Amino acid sequence: MTWPLRHEVMWPNMPIDFVKLPEDASGIHFGLFVDTNLVSTVSLFQTDVGTAQFRKFATKKKQQGKGYGSKLLLHLIEYTKKQRFQCLWCNARIDKTDYYKKFGMVETDKTFLKQNQKFVILQKVL
């Protein structure tokens, strides 16, 4: 269920396989539903002992600004704390960093380009 939403929101001009991750089968996928419709999704992957990365965080464009993504991200942060992770991180599009900072995430000096889109790694010590 996450792939079509990821595709629609993140990379609509790419083939759907572009949003599929090799590690999807081993990840934990969270979704926020309104009635029976998936409106926001995010996937969590353990990257090292005590460290987790969330990826492919997407909320339907018509549902953005309603707090659904924020609710889902807060749930993910609480989940990682309960699982005793010490650090949570993500690759964020540069224009989205202010959003993640509201949740206590901090920019690192690590950046990269993907499909002419600039990304920065943000992290949160739990």
Residue 95: per-residue pLDDT:
93
The 10 Å Cβ neighbour count of residue 6 is: 24
Give pairs for 101-107: CB < 8 Å, separation 24+: 102/70, 103/70, 103/73, 103/74, 103/77
Structure tokens at 43: 């996937």
- Model's pTM, two decimal places? 0.92
Which domains are present in the chain?
2-125 (3.40.630.30)
Residue 13: per-residue pLDDT:
94
pLDDT digits (tens, 9 = 90+) for 59-86: 999 999 999 999 999 999 999 999 999 9
Give the E-state strand segments of 1-115 in sequence order.
28-34, 37-48, 51-59, 87-93, 106-114
pLDDT per 10-residue tile (average), the chain, 126 residues = 95 95 96 96 95 97 96 97 97 95 96 92 96
> How many angstroms separate the CA atoms of 51 and 37, rounded?
31
Q: What sign has the CA pseudo-torsion 6, 79, 85, 49?
A: negative
Residue 115: per-residue pLDDT:
87
Residue 32: per-residue pLDDT:
97
